[in-house]
DNA sequence: GCTGATGTTGGAACCGGTTCCAATATCGCA
DNA sequence: TGCGATATTGGAACCGGTTCCAACATCAGC
């Protein structure tokens, strides 16, 4: 009557319980579980029936230990401070859902200490089978550790010569943004970007260089007084923009190194009573989800797609398919909306 | 000279290697690793030195198997479709970073099939030590499975009588939103909300009920023709709002069941050439990050805080501290901005 | 010098899978 | 009938930790 044998009522059945009840060896049960062809049809059926009857579920922990694989991949990123990371994460989650039966382990890093912790604790083939690192640059030492542990890793939005990576041409992006403003007739263009961080996240600086290049191309001399840097964030960008707008000769357009910062600029314009784009044009960078609803003109980089692509590269690397660490460039487009 | 003994160059040192080199038993090494007081100072030092010398790192996989704990907690939620979930996730990540050394495993569910998969694969004390379920209602059967497996679970933004949960009073929220609009002098109030989903996510409907209650309280008869429901999403809400605004007698205010939908309503107003709030007042629900930058009036529920609180309850439940499954109500506030 | 309490230790057994090896059964073919 | 090749099988050994138990040392107290 009772499908569950009394003796195993208290603890979950193991592979040995199944073997005993099905009157086969543990090896055979394991082979059935792993769809090995080396099992007779008869034994296979008996094992399957016993599994159903006992309600057996195999322990992924034991399996991991035995196999040396965890079927998990780790994502290291600053989820709090970078909106773009969440957008990329969506791409990661989506890709992983369809492709491959890996689970996702999150590791948030905001400070230097956390960065170190993350790499120390993750940098072992033990907890995860591979690492996706987004918007945080690992040190040479950390990369060396990964290599020594044999833990595959892929970078997104950040570069290291020893690892496969997906990046954008930040300089080009800065140039594109600036040329867009130049085409609209602006010549006094301000810049609001990031302070250099201890993470070595310097895309903001490269975008500014792109801006300088575009200005040079247009025969306009770079004016350092129109460039403001602050820690990344909406509030900070707003403060920068307010100072920029209170200059004796304020810019007629501002290039913000990220959409989050562009939003801060928009807030400064609003509180200063400036009309956008008539009195002040604003262009951002990234094209996060908010940009569309705000009507923010921006340089679009494919966030979801790069997240998804990172997963593809990582899965390939885990399977040992990856060749040399290559750098992939994601395409950039200026999306013109209502702020320019 | 060489700190790494030749014999162990190929594979990572194990606890037995450490024991051998330190000339102690494996038990002693394990005790040192776990800060047991039952170790002499002398042995402790020898073991620590050996660990440093060999570069030993303990395998969390083996530890998990032996301990029957994984030090991971799972989060099940629709990360794609619900913006509010990402906001809550930030609270989860933040809390988990400070408190307790648990890693976070993500499980995205968007469809019914995925929901079933998620619970089937997670509903075992095997991969995770506890489950945080956000904005997805588990079925009775799934809850029963969790109970049988002894896997602690906490719900956020969704209710089941058998599990501890953090929810809001949606009816009250709907009432608050509507009363805010009534106080502004509106009497023709439209509603844009969710279609009932197979997930049993019915907060939209309860918010509408709260609206009906407020209207009743003000002596206004409910008008079903002003209520539109569609699958959750900005575009869908925009379509609903456009139909609402093209009625012969269009509403002067719209209550949207979520901020995402409110944004759709704003877009409809913009494309219809309506000024907000002069021609159309809009109030949303949730107070996601975008709401602030858009100046959207909304009913605020503490998203981050509830995520964080969910973690607290879950950790308590894992430690066996949790008593009866209780329901916690998060506070609601109307945040008045520029759309009303 | 004996007793019992206390402190410390080594190592076997265990967690629950996978894999390899040796053993047996079956079969085709000379 | 005998042989090797092939199919299938059981189970020991292993993955790398933790824990329990028995054993031994030390010491206070009588």
Rg (CA), chain A: 27
CA distance A269 to A255: 13
Q: Give the pLDDT mean for B252-266.
A: 96
Q: Average of pLDDT values for A187-192?
A: 96
pLDDT at A322 (0 to 100)? 65
- Mean per-residue pLDDT, A279-288: 96
Query: Would you call A225 an interface residue with chain B, using a CB distance cutoff of 8 Å?
Result: no
Measuring from the CA of residue A65 to each C1' atom, give the nucleotide at the shortest distance. Answer: D15
In tens, the pLDDT along B139-174 reads 888 898 888 888 999 999 999 999 999 999 999 999
Residues 158-177 of A with CB under 8 A from B: none
Whether nucleic acid strand C comes within 7 Å of the CB of A329, the answer is no
What percentage of chain B reaches a pLDDT higher than 70?
94
Give the number of A-B residue pairs with CB atoms closer than 8 Å. 89
Give the pLDDT of residue A316.
92
In this prediction, residues A253-263 reach a mean pLDDT of 96
Helix (H, G, I), strand (E, B) or coil at A295: coil
Backbone angles phi, psi at A85, to 5 degrees: -65, -40
H/E element, B149: helix B140-149
Tokens coding A332: 């950039």
What is the rounded average pLDDT for all residues in chain B? 90
Q: Which residue has the tokens 């916690």?
A: B328
B236 in Cβ contact with B264 (< 8 Å): yes
Q: pLDDT category, B124, cuts 50, 70, 90?
A: low
**Higher-scoring residue by pLDDT: B199, B296:** B296
Query: Do B126 and A60 count as a contact with CB atoms less than 8 A apart?
Result: yes
Å from B213 to nearest chain A CA?
A: 32
Q: Is A23 left (phi over 0), alpha (psi -120 to 50) or beta?
A: left
Residue A4 banded pLDDT, cuts 50, 70, 90 = very low
Handedness of CA A10, A11, A16, A18 (dihedral sign): positive
In tens, the pLDDT along B182-221 reads: 999 999 999 999 998 766 657 899 999 999 999 999 999 9
Residue B80: CA atoms inside 13 Å, Cβ hemisphere, count? 14
Please, which pLDDT band fits residue A208 given cuts at 50, 70 and 90?
Answer: very high
Residue B113 has pLDDT above 80, yes or no: no
Q: How far apart are CA A191 and CA B77, in angstroms?
A: 39
pLDDT tens sequence across A92-146 = 998 998 887 899 999 888 777 777 777 776 666 678 999 999 998 888 888 988 8
Residue in chain B lying closest to A97 (CA): B108
Q: What is the pLDDT of residue B7?
A: 38
Q: List the 40-99 stretch of B: residues with Cβ below 8 A of A.
A: 57, 59-62, 64-65, 70, 72, 79-80, 83, 86, 89-90, 93-94, 97
Rounded to the nearest 10 degrees, the angle between the axes of helix A26-33 and helix A41-54 is 90
Q: Which pLDDT belongs to residue A155? A: 96
Q: Give the residue, B7 or A75, on which the prediction is more confident.
A: A75
Per-residue model confidence (pLDDT) at position A123? 62
Distance separating alpha carbons of residues A206 and A214, to the nearest angstrom = 13
Does the pLDDT value for residue A235 go beyond 90?
A: yes
Q: Is B107 on the interface with A (CB under 8 A)?
A: yes
pTM of the model: 0.88
Tens digit of pLDDT for each residue in A144-175? 888 888 899 999 999 999 999 999 999 999 99
Is some CB atom of chain B closer than 8 A to the CB atom of A148?
no
In this prediction, residue B325 carries a pLDDT of 83
pLDDT > 70? residue B10: no
Distances (CA, A) of A124 to A73, A108, A130, B277: 12, 17, 9, 56
What pLDDT is stored for residue A62 in this prediction?
94
CA dist list (Å): B121 to A95, A208, B125: 18, 48, 10
Q: For residue A330, what pLDDT is reported?
A: 97
CA B168 vs CA A298, B204, B285: distances in Å = 37, 12, 12
pLDDT at B259 over 90: yes
**Region B26-47: what's the mean pLDDT?**
94
Bases of chain D within 7 A of a CB of the protein: 7-21
Question: So what's the pLDDT on residue A1?
Answer: 35
CA distances to A17, A77, B131, B132, B307 from B71, in Å:
27, 20, 12, 14, 19
The pLDDT value recorded for residue A124 is: 63
Q: Which of A144, A261, A293 to mutate to test the interface with B (most CBs of B within 10 A)?
A: A293
pLDDT at A5 > cutoff 50:
no
Mean pLDDT of B11-24: 93
Q: Nearest nt to B31, CA vs C1'?
A: D18
């Amino acid at each position: 009557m009772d499908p569950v044998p009394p003796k195993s009522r208290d603890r979950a059945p193991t592979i040995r319980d199944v073997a005993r009840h099905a009157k086969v060896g543990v090896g055979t049960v394991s082979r059935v579980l792993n769809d090995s062809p080396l099992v007779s049809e008869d034994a296979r059926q008996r094992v399957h029936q016993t599994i159903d009857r006992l309600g057996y579920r195999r322990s992924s922990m034991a399996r991991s230990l035995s196999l040396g694989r965890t079927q998990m991949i780790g994502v290291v990123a600053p989820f709090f401070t970078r909106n773009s990371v969440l957008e990329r994460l969506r791409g990661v989650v989506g890709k992983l859902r369809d492709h491959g039966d890996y689970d996702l382990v999150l590791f948030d890093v905001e400070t230097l200490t956390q960065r170190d912790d993350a790499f120390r604790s993750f940098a072992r083939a033990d907890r995860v089978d591979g690492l996706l690192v987004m918007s945080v640059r690992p040190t040479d030492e950390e990369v060396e550790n990964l290599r020594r542990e044999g833990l595959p890793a892929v970078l997104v939005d950040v570069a290291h010569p020893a690892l496969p990576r997906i990046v954008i041409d930040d300089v080009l992006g800065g140039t594109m943004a600036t040329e867009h403003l130049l085409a609209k007739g602006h010549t006094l263009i301000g810049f609001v970007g990031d302070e250099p961080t201890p993470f070595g996240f310097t895309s903001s600086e490269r975008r500014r260089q792109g801006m300088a290049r575009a200005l040079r191309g247009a025969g306009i001399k770079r004016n350092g007084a129109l460039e403001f840097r602050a820690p990344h964030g909406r509030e900070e960008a707003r403060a920068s923009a307010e100072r920029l707008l209170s200059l004796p000769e304020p810019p007629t357009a501002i290039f913000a190194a990220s959409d989050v910062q562009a939003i801060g600029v928009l807030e400064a314009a609003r509180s200063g009573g400036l009309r956008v784009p008539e009195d002040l044009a604003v262009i951002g960078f990234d094209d996060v989800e908010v940009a569309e609803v705000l009507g923010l003109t921006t340089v679009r980089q494919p966030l979801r797609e790069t997240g998804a692509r990172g997963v593809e590269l990582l899965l390939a690397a885990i399977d040992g398919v990856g060749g040399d660490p290559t750098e992939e460039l994601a395409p950039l487009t200026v999306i013109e909306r209502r702020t320019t």
